[in-house]
Structure 1
Amino acid sequence: MPEIIDKRVNLEFPLGHHLHCMIVQIPNRLKRAGTGYTITDPQEKWQLVRSVLDLVISGEGNLKKLHFLLFPESSLPASRFDDLLAIISQKFRANTVTVFGIEHVRLHEYRALLERFREDNAEAIELVDKDIDAGDVLDVPVNWCCIAIKEANGSLRVFLEAKSHPFHGEEYIDTFHDLYRGRHFYLFRSRPSCFNFMAIICLDYLYRDLYTSNIRQIIDHANNLFFSTRQGLDALFVIQCNPKPEHRAYRDVISGFYGEYLENTPGVRETVTVFGNVSDESRIGDAKAGQGFGNSSIVINRNHRLAQVKFSEFITDDFDGAPVCRLRFGSGTRLIYINLPQQHEIDPRTTRVPLKIHTIMELDDSGAWRKITFDEEDYEIVRA
């Protein structure tokens, strides 16, 4: 099972105020290759990613308040990894966390990158080296992500994670050289703001079985954190390239995560879970349009009592009876700018809505991002 490694980072988030997150729901177009899956249109994809970065850098409106930027799984060409880090380091504002998935590389390349950023990934290197010493695995494909944190003093810290469970296209890359399974997750404990968060890749959220699963590891670790420090896991970011985000398996895990099936879970009871998916223009191999993808979402504890509404770009529901409130977005190519709720105790008299959508943006005909405006008739209150 993957180990959870605690990391202290210097982030000065505003105390007593909600944080801001942007979900980048853009398409992935992937094809089979010797390294697993690669992006079919790397230059076009980089231009799309760069357009989002430029928008964040300009900081129009309240985008200058952005704290978390979430790109999907396998969304960045590996050749552009250094370019993205350079932009974050040189042009992003301090106290910014950027999570992004990168196309597959070989294990020896992933190991070299861990070594390059050894100061932040020393524990992970030890775990990877155990696998390398155990067999001939240096050419195994790795599906990986990066959590790039620009701290309050402007320094850039780079943390790398490998996906610990393959998706449907990765399970059969090669009978003898399957996808490498990552051995660690990071839990970031930011100071002085006292905000704890994690980022994982898609199926790392699912059970393998009830007793030895990634998600159970996260719950138990957060519970131990709660009982020893009275702190919990404030946010869990799950980046996806998922054609079936509505699968019952996700509903079952969400129910267990928020305390329906497992033991009491005080460490994650107030966790905000953000699922950032690709858009419905995605393709994996020969998969055709309309067969899935899309639907990023935010899940919070049902005690927040989020009113159920239906809107042209999003709806709220309880995910078919799970003990949660869910804000579920559409499947198109979008930038979704939201706040992360910070109210841990809800005043029963309040009318404050714990989740707020600041902006949803789409691409216009010229390839620029523009805000979507909503008509009143598109809005419907289903029930409180």
Structure 2
Amino acid sequence: MVEVVEVDLGALGVRFPRGEVAMVVAQPHVVFVHQEPFTWAPEERQRALECIDDTLAVSRGCPHGADKTHFTIFPECTLPGLEGVDRITAAMQAADWPTETVVIGGVDGLTKAQFTELVQRPNTTYDAVGNRLDRVQAHQWVNCVVTWTKLPTGDVCSWVQPKLSPAWVELNVEYMSMYQGRSIYVFKGVHSNADVPYQFATLLCFDWIGKADAKRMWEWLLEGIGARAGQFGGMLPLTWLFVAQCNPAPSHVSFMSQVAPFFDPAQFPRVTRDDTCLIMANVAGKEKPGKAEKFGQSAVIVTQSRFSRPACMPTYGNGGAPQRGGDFLETFRDAVFRERGACIHSFLVIHPSTLPPGSAGRRIALREPAVHPFNGVNDPRAPRGAVPAVVKWVNDELDEPSKSLATKYTHLPLRAMAGAAHQRAVSELRTLKAEALGNTVNFASLTARKSTPDEWKGGEGLAVQHLLHTFSILEAAQYPATFHGNGAQATIMKDEISLEVIAVMGAVMRTVTSMFSTACRLTKGS
């Protein structure tokens, strides 16, 4: 059995606005010791602390435009032990950290001694009944999430919740076993601008799909809230549910298949979820912004009843086949952040109940989404602002070494010259604005203009490769180009002559690479 433990933040003076709340989600690249208790690698722990600092700096800076960041979320296992916990506590205790705010953070594996030390710290609470310390055995480790809040008095309080259900990697171990928690905290209060209750809770990754006594953990959560609502014959909302993940397959059918039953109003009818915001916060799939096949895909999921579906918003897509690999959530609004590499997301979440009816209330679920870098990385995919889809897509394509002629023709004499030309073209293209990049790809591919960048596939990728090959050959022939994407892809200046150039992919693709190979052979023979 899993108990739901209520925490009355309202009694402590913590309130949140009903219309919009501001969130910052860290998406760091985590390097683990691949053995239980699954901690950050020792040589990476300093970087882990720096990721915390960078994320908290974004939260303090309020790039979303709100007066403060109401929720800051660190995914599962992203805080390096007690040192990571202390880093957040100290930051929140500082005078410049605003009151009535929450930080949620997943801590990497703790031994029993470390967990005991954590829960005995000042202003720290844990479920001393369901998770009493004598239940944690010496051979067990604890994977937990900590929820902090800064009270109007300036005091910082925290609550520690162990993970409930181990993932396969946490079961398939040789030396230790993961302690399985027995309770979920539900934090409640009243909104600051309306006499209406709010509630939120957090689950750790596999808890979203895991079971105890034949019930999903989210079912235990809703059952507990519903039981409390039944005590006064009413209904209660679940305003926000955070799922902090370290998940290599965030769009796996097992995860996606739980969304619809979770939102089903026929189940647990005393818990209203039509206005619930489900926040999936995951770690990164690579150490810097770029294309990744695993991890990432942090997302915000809401019902479709109140929000419109955008066409091609900056920073996030609509999920579905282009991002999820299938239309698992076609009856929901699924805002999936495109960047799967290391970064920090910031955004505003609109509470649907505050929207007026009809066209006057037509809104999109997220506002002011932005992507921020770790460690000051200079990358157009993490510009401390919005990232149009075409900017993300093109820059991911430009990362591919295979698109360089120098990679394909390693044995030919013009290889070095082609490699230098390729790098210069890549550097120039990365500086182009979104409209110019869109024009450049549309000129290169006859199919690109028929769809959005989220739907571009291999054909458009080959068109970018053809573009890079073509201009590399031209530069090797002493015809360097300046990219601009304005009416053409680039301009070539030769003496007094100016040429506007477009490279269009078609049957000529093979001809262009053949030209390079022939030119190399001629150079070698001269």
Query: For the superposition of Structure 1 and Structure 2, which TM-score range results when normalised by the shorter chain?
Result: 0.7 to 0.9
Deviation at 1:168, TM superposition (A): 3.2
Partners of 1:265 and 1:314 in 2: CA distance: 33
Picking from 241, 244, 248, the partner of 1:239 is: 244
Partners of 1:264 and 1:192 in 2: CA distance: 22
Partners of 1:309 and 1:202 in 2: CA distance: 30
Picking from 340, 343, 349, the partner of 2:349 is: 340
Deviation at 1:14, TM superposition (A): 5.4
Deviation at 1:329, TM superposition (A): 1.0
Q: Which residue of 2 aligns with 1:320?
A: 328
Picking from 327, 349, 355, the partner of 2:365 is: 355
Q: Of the two structures, which has the highest relative contact order with CA contacts closer than 8 Å and spacing of 6 or more?
A: 1
Q: Which runs of 5+ in 2 are unaligned?
A: 321-326, 389-433, 439-450, 455-526
Q: Which residue of 2 aligns with 1:179?
A: 178
Question: TM-score if structure 2 supplies the norm length?
Answer: 0.64
Partners of 2:202 and 2:99 in 1: CA distance: 19
Deviation at 1:64, TM superposition (A): 4.0
Deviation at 1:60, TM superposition (A): 5.6
Deviation at 1:195, TM superposition (A): 1.9
Quick check: 1:196 aligned with 2:205? no
Aligned residue for 2:177, secondary structure, equals: coil
Seen in structure 2, the aligned counterparts of structure 1 residues 282 and 11 have a Cα distance that, compared at 3 Å, is: farther
Which letter does structure 2 place at the counterpart of 1:62?
G
Seen in structure 2, the aligned counterparts of structure 1 residues 213 and 158 have a Cα distance that, compared at 3 Å, is: same
Picking from 83, 86, 93, the partner of 1:89 is: 93
Partners of 1:301 and 1:61 in 2: CA distance: 23
Partners of 1:63 and 1:321 in 2: CA distance: 29
Deviation at 1:63, TM superposition (A): 5.7
Seen in structure 2, the aligned counterparts of structure 1 residues 186 and 17 have a Cα distance that, compared at 3 Å, is: same
Seen in structure 2, the aligned counterparts of structure 1 residues 211 and 345 have a Cα distance that, compared at 3 Å, is: farther
Deviation at 1:264, TM superposition (A): 4.2
Seen in structure 2, the aligned counterparts of structure 1 residues 114 and 93 have a Cα distance that, compared at 3 Å, is: same
- Preserved CA contact (<8 Å) 2:317 2:336: yes
Per mean C-alpha deviation after superposition, the further-off stretch among 73-82 and 54-63 is: 54-63
Q: Which residue of 1 aligns with 2:446?
A: none
Deviation at 1:201, TM superposition (A): 0.9
Identity of aligned residues (%): 16
Seen in structure 2, the aligned counterparts of structure 1 residues 373 and 329 have a Cα distance that, compared at 3 Å, is: closer
Deviation at 1:309, TM superposition (A): 2.6
Which letter does structure 2 place at the counterpart of 1:179?
M
Seen in structure 2, the aligned counterparts of structure 1 residues 127 and 14 have a Cα distance that, compared at 3 Å, is: closer
Partners of 1:203 and 1:34 in 2: CA distance: 17
Q: Which residue of 2 aligns with 1:370?
A: 384
Seen in structure 2, the aligned counterparts of structure 1 residues 157 and 324 have a Cα distance that, compared at 3 Å, is: same
Q: Deviations over 1:52-109 (max 9, x none)?
A: 2223334467264210001111111112321221111114111110011111111232
- Preserved CA contact (<8 Å) 1:111 1:128: no
Per mean C-alpha deviation after superposition, the further-off stretch among 233-242 and 42-51 is: 42-51
Aligned residue for 1:93, secondary structure, equals: coil
Q: Which residue of 2 aligns with 1:166?
A: 166
Partners of 2:33 and 2:351 in 1: CA distance: 40
Aligned residue for 1:174, secondary structure, equals: coil
- Preserved CA contact (<8 Å) 1:223 1:268: no
| RMSD across aligned positions (CA) | 3.1
- Preserved CA contact (<8 Å) 2:27 2:74: yes
Q: Which residue of 2 aligns with 1:293?
A: 295
Q: Which residue of 1 aligns with 2:29?
A: 27
1:32-111 mapped onto 2 (5 Å cutoff): 32-33=34-35, 35-40=37-42, 41-59=44-62, 62=65, 64-78=67-81, 79-90=83-94, 91-111=96-116
Seen in structure 2, the aligned counterparts of structure 1 residues 66 and 365 have a Cα distance that, compared at 3 Å, is: closer
Deviation at 1:344, TM superposition (A): 2.0
Picking from 199, 205, 208, the partner of 2:208 is: 205
Aligned residue for 2:78, secondary structure, equals: coil
> Alignment length, in residue pairs?
371
Deviation at 1:299, TM superposition (A): 0.8
1:12-23 mapped onto 2 (5 Å cutoff): 12-13=14-15, 15-23=17-25
Q: Which residue of 1 aligns with 2:493?
A: none
Deviation at 1:343, TM superposition (A): 2.4
Of structures 1 and 2, the larger Rg is shown by 2
Seen in structure 2, the aligned counterparts of structure 1 residues 335 and 265 have a Cα distance that, compared at 3 Å, is: farther
Q: Deviations over 1:202-254 (max 9, x none)?
A: 11111427942211111222333455343311101111111111011122211
Seen in structure 2, the aligned counterparts of structure 1 residues 243 and 307 have a Cα distance that, compared at 3 Å, is: same
Which letter does structure 2 place at the counterpart of 1:162?
P
Aligned residue for 1:303, secondary structure, equals: coil
Partners of 2:160 and 2:60 in 1: CA distance: 23
- Preserved CA contact (<8 Å) 1:13 1:19: no
Q: Which runs of 5+ in 1 are unaligned?
A: 284-288
Seen in structure 2, the aligned counterparts of structure 1 residues 62 and 45 have a Cα distance that, compared at 3 Å, is: same
Indicate the structure with greater strand content. Answer: 1
Q: Deviations over 1:173-194 (max 9, x none)?
A: 236x311111111100124643
